[in-house]
Amino acid sequence: MKTIKILGTGCPNCKRTTEVVQQAVEELSLPDVSIEKVEDIMKIMEYDIMSTPAVVIDERVVIKGRVPSKGEIMELLKV
Amino acid sequence: MFDWIQQFADWLIYRQIGLERGRRLAEALNFFVYDSIKILLLLFVVIFFMGIVNSYFPIEKVRNFLSRNKLYGLEYFMASAFGVVTPFCSCSSVPLFIGFVRGGIPLGVTFAFLITSPLVNEVAIGLFLGLFGLKATAIYVISGVVLGMTAGIILSRFRLERYLTPWVKEVLANAQREEEKFTAENTPFFQRLPVIWREAAKILKGVVPYVIVGIAIGGLMHGYIPEGFFEKYMSKENLLAVPMATVLAVPMYSNASGILPVVQVLVSKGIPLGTAIAFMMAVVGLSFPEAMLLKKVMSLKLIGIFFGVVTLCIIVSGYLFNLIF
């Protein structure tokens, strides 16, 4: 099972990132994925990032500081 | 260099749409078309080149650099200068602040970065080039860097650590010099380009509506407000104009892309450049949404000091600009 976390304090870019991730997951129709939005700044800081939004897959930061494209997320999820 | 855009605008407005040269509507529309094309073009070029720089100097590298090097005061300048090339959205201000503090970077240096970064960014520079030309842009960038630096140095004198929220103090206590954790990416230049290009296009797409609306308002004012209209109220002789424009602007919030086209028209109608820039810097650099976010890491008193010092610095640079031009 894969856990995807979206780290962000609720700015428009963070919301867009969440949408992109959801679309990517739907398109791949992965069965076993949980998507979690992390908005608590203290939790966010545990990942040692300095710019949001960020995407974390299985506790590994894969995107930070920008809104990824759908294709990018799909690539990252296939591995 | 931009003659061809003017020719295109003339062709479109006078020939294709058939409006009479010299009529208000025609002149306003012509100005709108010319300005929009020129500004969007310059914006894209600047955003793209800043993207290249940023691709080689991501924020982690900046932090590690500032954290490792004791630069005998030069670190304020470096932090402020990095603020120019490192884009950051105000929603990142808290993680950025914590990240810097955790890396053992002094608060004053962190502030220097936090002040310059929103003030002088790729979008503002692109717009400035398009609207005011090279000389004014250079002065704008330099004064932005000096402003961030000065405010950072002043703030460092206040012993601000007292005013941080408890959990930040804890982070501060555990701060350590950043080891070379950052794994350098060795992606060759030509493989970086498509990504940078896409990012630049995305940023441009995001600001286009603001710029267009800004230019439209500017165009209207350009066509309908008589020359020198504002001069009566905001001339250089009126010493209160700069502080008033600044203080008025602090509660307002917009990004550079929306406000600059309007500022240009104000300037062309007689408001001194320094006054206009002070107004713009206060609108862009200080905002209530940002203050709300910063409340998580700073006490209200510190936010007050922070805003106060930056406001003062903006007022000073407004006067300086008016002296130079």
pLDDT digits (tens, 9 = 90+) for A20-71: 999 988 888 877 888 889 888 778 878 878 888 889 988 888 888 878 888 8
Q: Which helix (H) or strand (E) holds B34?
A: helix B24-56
A9: closest chain B residue by CA? B91
Spatial CB neighbours of B260, under 8 Å, sequence gap ≥ 6: B124, B127, B128, B131, B214, B280
Predicted pLDDT of residue B145 = 92
**Neighboring chain B residues of A39 at a CB cutoff of 8 Å:** none
Most A-contacting residue of B47, B59, B91 (CB-CB within 10 A), to test interface:
B91
| Pick from B68, B41, B39, B38: nearest CA to B180 | B68
Nearest-neighbour CA in chain A from B176: distance (Å): 13
**Neighboring chain A residues of B88 at a CB cutoff of 8 Å:** 51
A54: closest chain B residue by CA? B92
**Neighboring chain A residues of B199 at a CB cutoff of 8 Å:** 66
Q: Which of residues 12-71 of A touch B (CB under 8 A)?
A: 13-14, 41-42, 44-45, 48-52, 65-67, 69
Q: Residue-wise over B139-161: b if at least 16 C-beta within 10 A, else e?
A: bbbebbbbbbbbbbbbbbeeebe
Domain coordinates in residue numbering, chain A: 2-78
Among candidates B59, B171, B202 on the partner chain, residue whose Cβ is nearest the Cβ of A50: B59
User: B222 — contact with chain A (CB < 8 Å)?
Assistant: no
Predicted pLDDT of residue B90 = 64
Cβ-defined contact of A42 to B167 (cutoff 8 Å): yes
Cβ-defined contact of A49 to B167 (cutoff 8 Å): no
- Unique residue bearing structure tokens 């030509």: B190
For residue B3, the Cα-to-chain-centroid distance in whole angstroms is 28
Most B-contacting residue of A51, A56, A61 (CB-CB within 10 A), to test interface:
A51
Name residue A38's beta-bridge partners.
A7
Predicted pLDDT of residue B232 = 63
pLDDT in single tens digits along all 325 residues of chain B: 778 888 888 888 888 887 777 777 788 788 888 888 888 888 888 888 888 887 787 777 888 888 877 777 788 998 898 888 877 666 677 888 888 888 888 888 988 988 888 788 788 888 888 888 888 888 889 888 998 999 999 888 888 888 888 877 777 777 665 444 545 556 777 777 887 888 888 888 878 888 888 888 777 776 676 666 666 666 666 778 888 888 877 777 666 677 787 788 788 777 888 888 888 888 877 777 777 778 878 888 888 888 888 899 889 888 888 887 7
Cβ-defined contact of B95 to A51 (cutoff 8 Å): yes
Nearest-neighbour CA in chain A from B293: distance (Å): 9
Predicted pLDDT of residue A6 = 92
User: B196 — contact with chain A (CB < 8 Å)?
Assistant: no
Size of interface A-B (CB pairs under 8 A): 50
> Which one of 3.40.50.720, 3.40.30.10, 3.40.50.2300, 2.40.40.20 gives the CATH number of domain A2-78?
3.40.30.10
Write the ipTM.
0.75
Half-sphere exposure of B300 (CA within 13 A, CB side): 0
Predicted pLDDT of residue B294 = 81
Nearest-neighbour CA in chain B from A79: distance (Å): 20
Phi-psi category of residue B72: left, alpha or beta, with phi > 0 → left and psi -120 to 50 → alpha:
left
- Unique residue bearing structure tokens 């691709």: B55
Half-sphere exposure of B110 (CA within 13 A, CB side): 22
Beta-strand pair A33-38/A2-7: parallel
Predicted pLDDT of residue B182 = 47
Cα(B28)–Cα(B101) distance, rounded to whole angstroms? 50
